[in-house]
Amino acid sequence: MNIIQVCPYDLSIPGGVQTHVTQLSNELVRKNNKVVIFAPRPTNPNSEREADCEVKHITSSTRIPWWGTSIDVSVLKPNEKSQIRQFFDEFKPDVIHFHTIWNPVMQTQLLWMLPDSIKKVGTFHDTPPDRGLGKHIGANLMKVGAKYYLPKMDEIISVSETQAKAMGGDPENLPQNFRILPNGIDAEAGQNMEKKSTPDDDFRIIFIGRFENRKGVFELLEIYRRLQSESLNQKISLTLVGNGPQLSEMKNFVNEHQLKEVTFHNDVDDQDKNRLLLNSDLMIAPALYGESFGIVLLEAMALGVRVIGYGNEGYLNIGKKYGVENFPSPGDTEALFELAKQHLKMPAEEQSILIKKGLEIASKHDWKLIAQQIEHIYSR
């Protein structure tokens, strides 16, 4: 099949949707499909996520803050529309697969341009905040958006029950063209890498995500501060992987509280990320809200890293299988701190049980399995 994947986000900026689009495209290419990714022009071409297919930068984008995170806004100009129409004529796509189609405005413009002969598939990744004013406004906006966009899709994919509910769907009674399919991961990625040798009593914590308040980055730093002050006889370290608006404030916190063994990694590719994960013992994922699934948890589990975090609705899609006791209520810093302390002192046998459980969960989300189901949806 000839397939177009449409990513509304800059591929040079780390993010779950960007990872999803490129890894799905790579797996579809391995299955002998011809795939092209449509995406905005990267702000940093040197750090753009690599893909095993052509990436067409069809317009520029502007990044704006939105409900505690940020989104890319793109608008197609007349000359860009003309170039895309010409590409449609030459490429003759069988399927166009939109991701978070209501992200303004490029994808809506593409939708209006499409010939009826092209199958339209939409994957919905996002959820509204589950607290404060955003809980009510965001939820209503999403339901309004769903009423407009869902009827225009031939096939609909939601990444989790949490996300489907956010659009007003009933996971127990979905339309025939509506599927809940989880995010995929490359479950074998990094497994051939060599693990760095460290003393047995070193305890290495990792965080991966955007450096923003929604992700609970300051809760994490406070937990680490307390761990370090109470673990005088054990060496612990914290690796922070990502980028975002709170980077300078986080560095100030580290300096102000004289935190030791804290390293920042701001622009990493998948290989570097896997290497950092492979040399970690525990991932702490303290996102407060706005998570639809929790792909970062799976990536850690696939490399034998234990995971704890806040039990936001999205993370509980994984947490219920892994053990809800590892995911206290969002904002309960004391409970997350106590969990981290437990992992710091956890006996080897208990560690092995958790690691094995994580590996089993991750293996069920391998892209080979997920892409096969998506390919079936394309050809229905």
pLDDT in tens, 257-282: 999 999 999 988 888 999 999 999 99
For residue 297, the model assigns a pLDDT of: 97
- Tokens representing 206 are 């990792």
Gap between the Cα atoms of 77 and 218, Å rounded: 40
C-beta separation of 11 from 58 below 8 A: no
**SS (HEC) of 307-364:** EEECCCCCCHHHHHHHCHHHCCCCCCHHHHHHHHHHHHCCCHHHHHHHHHHHHHHHHC
Fold of 203-363: Rossmann fold (3.40.50)
pLDDT at res. 99: 98
Same fold, 2-184+365-379 and 203-363: yes
Quote the pLDDT of residue 333. Answer: 98
CATH of 2-184+365-379, one of 3.40.50.150, 3.40.50.2000, 1.10.150.670, 3.10.20.30: 3.40.50.2000
Q: What SS3 state is found at 237?
A: strand
Mind listing the pLDDT tens digit of every residue in the chain (380 residues)? 999 999 999 999 888 899 999 999 999 999 999 999 999 999 988 888 889 999 999 999 998 877 666 788 999 999 999 999 999 999 999 999 999 999 999 999 999 999 999 999 999 998 877 666 666 677 788 899 999 999 999 999 999 998 999 899 999 999 999 999 999 998 888 776 766 656 567 999 999 999 999 999 999 999 999 999 987 778 999 999 999 899 999 999 999 999 999 999 998 888 899 999 999 999 999 999 888 889 999 999 999 999 999 999 899 999 999 999 999 999 999 999 999 999 999 999 999 999 999 999 999 999 999 999 999 999 98
Query: pLDDT tens digits, residue range 352-380?
Result: 999 999 999 999 999 999 999 999 999 98
8 Å CB contact between 110 and 84: yes
Dihedral angle, C-alpha 15, 20, 21, 23, nearest 10 °: 120
Nearest to 253 by CA among 240, 268, 267: 240
- Closest by CA to 134, choosing from 244, 63, 214, 210, is 214
What sections of the chain are H helices per DSSP?
16-30, 78-91, 106-113, 132-149, 161-166, 217-230, 247-256, 270-278, 295-302, 316-322, 333-344, 348-363, 367-379
- Per-domain residue ranges for the chain? 2-184+365-379, 203-363
Please tell me the distance from the alpha carbon of residue 298 to that of residue 18, in angstroms, as a whole number: 16
Q: What is the pLDDT of residue 105?
A: 95
pLDDT for the residue numbered 270: 86
Q: Which pLDDT score is estimated for 249?
A: 98
**Residue 273, pLDDT score:** 93
How far, CA to CA in Å, does 19 sit from each of 245, 263, 305, 307, 326?
20, 23, 20, 20, 25
Please give the order of strands across the beta sheet that includes 119-124. 54-59, 34-40, 2-6, 95-99, 119-124, 155-158, 178-180
Q: What is the pLDDT of residues 301-312, one digit of tens each?
A: 999 999 999 999
> Given this model, what pLDDT does residue 200 score?
65
Burial class (CB in 10 A: 0-12, 13-18, 19+), 118: middle
125: tokens are 């990744």
Q: Report the C-alpha dihedral over residues 216, 217, 222, 224, rounded to 10 degrees.
A: 120
How many angstroms separate the CA atoms of 43 and 18, rounded? 14
CB atoms within 10 A of CB 201: 9
From first CA to last CA, the distance across the chain in angstroms is 12
The whole-number pLDDT of residue 98 equals 98
Cβ atoms < 10 Å from Cβ of 325: 12
